[in-house]
Amino acid sequence: MALDQTDINTIAHLARLQVDEGDMEQYVHNLSDILGFVEQMNGVDTSNVTPMAHPLDATQRLRQDVVSERDQREKFQANAPQVEDGLYLVPKVIE
Amino acid sequence: MHNKTVSELSAGLHAGAFSSEELTAHFLRRIESHDGQLNSFITVAGDQALAAARAADQCLASGTAGPLTGIPLAQKDIFCTEGVRTSCGSKMLDNFISPYDATTVSRFNDAGMVMLGKTNMDEFAMGSSNETSFYGAVHNPWQLDMVPGGSSGGSAAAVAARLAPAATGTDTGGSIRQPAALCGLTGLKPTYGRVSRYGMIAFASSLDQGGPMTRSAEDAALLLQVMAGFDERDSTSVDTPVPNYSAGLNDGLEGLKIGLPKEYFAEGLDSHVAAAIEQAIDAYRKLGATIVDISLPNTHLAVPTYYVVAPAECSTNLSRFDGVRFGYRCEDPVDLTDMYKRSRGEGFGAEVKRRIMVGTYALSSGYYDAYYLQAQKIRRLISDDFRRAFADVDVIMGPTTPTVAFGMNSHSDDPVAMYLSDIYTIAANLAGLPAMSVPAGFVDGLPVGLQLIGDYFAESRLLNIAHRYQQVTDWHTQAPAAFS
């Protein structure tokens, strides 16, 4: 699978990643190589195979819908780049 | 003191031969004097370690100490530690101080172990050479211009160089076993779900598993005893009883059936590594084991399958790093999208970005069936290979890696070549099986690892099989000359 710069730009946008112009050629090359490598999977007949999501085929464990965590907002927000009045600040979204 | 195993240190502490404070200070001095050559630690927590050591000494004095009380330990910097930076080897988390401890960390704290610091690793555990760390590459103590393996390369180098008696690692595609092999350690990746993933920064959640990296199987049993067990905070934690991992270490191996998959001895395996592995198999024959040739026919599909499943899960897991709640945020974002893109573009290194993009592509509309779904189906085929094999044999053996440690910068421009260094380790993660690497000789002065793969929850048996081998060989006791 050969990708081009347009593909890389689309993928990078979906992943919300800034890709520097100078690195573009290397991403085109590396990602094409990786996708080419994983194409070995294509020839395998898996029409009757159930996909495996969990090694032990376990299912989701459920718990009672009760409060199990205490409020530690200030502690958590100590790691945030920008907070005000207990709120996380981001660049203006709505004009 | 630093050449003693965890079991020997435990005996010394309980006999009063030395205190935990003396022991901890000794290892801190060794880190100070030797780690400049290795770069195996990202953060050394000296003050906290000495305080924990003094507390351990009180427990030892009052008779409330357990077997691991007062023994120093290094934690891979992927495990969240309250109050001590947890970087995951990334600029993204360079300033991150976790508000809580990972379950593995709190279990070791409760056992009285003393955390020396946080070890270097490939960024977000993505790498097989420890060269993708934001904090610089780690050097192999056996030969400084060689890689220590990855992603738990800092833990491996630190324990091999006697800068810590033991360390934790995590293994998504071989990240405990491959560096253990390349640095001459005993490393164990438990059955998926055996050790809690809570507070272990997620890379690929259906594959990630924490485990011990030690200098003997006996030590690995002691550490796994603390790490293993149900944790309601991990949704995939398995609620089955934890056996006594040390109880059966000396059981006999008469009648043990060892399967040798022909695919693990095929083209690509270094002939000197192959010879060392064959010698190890011979040692098992002498211990009474029977050798059976087996086949795991889908082995060649493991690496390609992994490089769809792991990047897909990584792209999902790493979407949490958005520059809003924690982690790196770019300067002067013009709007929200710019903030996301530049924070992530500047905060992540090249390999992490590559994998996020591969995963994003594999999960994107129109490609999901061809990549992710197909990979999950092949994962079943790989798992079925093992299921059939374990109907006939007790353990599967082969090399942990196709070569001994390779030179630094030798694979840096070719991700696919780097990925192939995990060719023998990845299948156990895809199937969720427990697996170990144990030292089995040297090629050109560099350690060789023998891999043992067991059936689900067969950790006790693996440790027993490894321990008996270590009683008749001394590969695991050898230390790199510059650090002995």
Identify whether the C-beta of residue B74 lies closer than 8 Å to the C-beta of residue B167. yes
Residue B340 vs residues A5, A17, B308, B328, B358: alpha-carbon distances, Å: 21, 7, 24, 10, 19
* pLDDT digits 0-9 by tens, B97-141: 999 999 999 999 999 999 999 999 999 999 999 999 999 999 999
B437-473 per-position pLDDT tens digit:
999 999 999 999 999 999 999 999 999 999 999 999 9
What's the pLDDT at A1?
67
Average pLDDT estimate for B317-335 = 97
CB burial string B430-461: b at 16+ within 10 A, e below: bbbbbbbbbbbbbbeebbbbbbbbbbbbbbbb
Structure tokens at B34: 């030797």
Contact B193, B239 (CB under 8 A): no
Q: Nearest-CA residue of chain A relative to B336? A: A91
Mean pLDDT of chain A: 92
What is the structure's pLDDT at B393? 98
pLDDT of residue B236: 93
CA distance B432 to B189: 9
Q: Are B408 and B147 in contact (CB under 8 A)?
A: yes
Chain B residues closer than 8 Å to A54 by CB: 192, 206, 236, 432
Mean pLDDT of chain B: 97
**What band does B417 get if pLDDT is binned at 50, 70 and 90?**
confident
Among candidate residues B448, B407, B458, the one with its CA nearest the CA of residue B428: B458
Distance, CA of B57 to CA of B19 (rounded, Å) = 6
For residue B472 the two structure tokens come to: 């008749």
Q: How far is A38 from chain B (nearest CA, A)?
A: 4
> Of B116, B145, B105, whose CA–CA distance to B30 is shortest?
B116
A42/B416 touch (CB, cutoff 8 Å), yes or no: no
pLDDT above 70: residue B158: yes
End-to-end CA distance of chain B: 11
Of A52, A58, A60, the CB nearest to B380: A52
Angstrom distance (rounded) from CA B196 to CA B239: 11
Please compute the mean of the pLDDT values over residues B312-328 and round it to a whole number: 97
CA distance B465 to B288: 11
State what percent of residues in chain B have pLDDT above 90. 97
Interface contact B380-A51, CB threshold 8 A:
yes
Helix runs in B39-102, H state only: 46-62
* Of A19, A52, A82, Cβ closest to residue B345: A19
Contact between B206 and A54 under an 8 Å Cβ cutoff? The reply is: yes
pLDDT at residue B252, as a whole number: 98
Q: Does A23 touch chain B (CB under 8 A)?
A: yes
More confident: B419 or B362: B362
Tell me the residues of chain B between 42 and 81 that have a Cβ less than 8 Å away from chain A. Answer: none
**Distance between CA atoms of residues B49 and B28, nearest Å:** 9
Distance of alpha carbon B7 from alpha carbon B246, whole angstroms: 11
For residue B162, the one-letter residue type is: R
- Which structure tokens are listed for B299? 């082995």
Look at residues B165, B189, B171 and name the one whose alpha carbon lies nearest to residue B121.
B171
**Chain B residues in contact with A58 (beta carbon < 8 A):** 193, 236, 238
Per-residue pLDDT tens over the stretch A40-71: 999 999 999 999 988 887 888 888 999 988 99
Residues 229-248 of B with CB under 8 A from A: 232, 235-236, 238
Q: What are phi and psi of B362, to 5 degrees?
A: -65, -25
Contacts of B239 (CB under 8 A, 6+ apart): B230
A83: β partners: A88
B374-389 helix and B302-317 helix, angle to the nearest 10 degrees: 130
Residue of A17, A44, A60 lying closest to B344 (CB–CB): A17
Name the region of B457 (left: φ>0; alpha: ψ -120 to 50; beta: rest): left
How many inter-chain contacts (A to B, CB under 8 Å) are there? 173
CA–chain centroid gap for B29, Å, is 25
**B356 shares contact with chain A (CB less than 8 Å):** yes
Banded pLDDT at B419 (limits 50, 70, 90): confident
Give yes or no for residue B326 having a pLDDT over 70: yes
Report the C-alpha gap between B47 and B31 in whole angstroms: 14
Would you say B248 and B464 are in contact if contact means Cβ atoms under 8 Å apart? Answer: yes
The rounded distance, in Å, linking the Cα atoms of B416 and B305 is: 13
Say how far apart CA A79 and CA B80 lie, in whole Å.
13
CA distance A69 to chain B (A): 11
Q: Tell if the CB–CB gap between A15 and B360 is shorter than 8 Å.
A: yes
Q: Is B307 on the interface with A (CB under 8 A)?
A: yes
Residue range B19-70, pLDDT digits in tens: 999 999 999 999 999 999 999 999 999 999 999 999 999 999 999 999 999 9
Q: Is A70 on the interface with B (CB under 8 A)?
A: no
Tokens for B176?
A: 């405990």
Question: What ranges in B161-244 are assigned the alpha helix state H?
Answer: 177-183, 217-227
| Tens-digit pLDDT profile for residues B357-366 | 999 999 998 9
pLDDT in tens, B197-230: 999 999 999 999 999 999 999 999 999 999 999 9
The model's confidence at residue A22, banded by pLDDT at 50, 70 and 90, is very high
Alpha-helix residue ranges (DSSP H) falling in A1-95: 5-14, 21-38, 73-77
* Mean pLDDT confidence for B170-190: 98
Mutation site for A-interface testing, chosen from B124, B361, B371 by largest number of A Cβ within 10 Å: B361
Q: What is the ipTM of this complex?
A: 0.95
pTM for this model (two decimals): 0.97
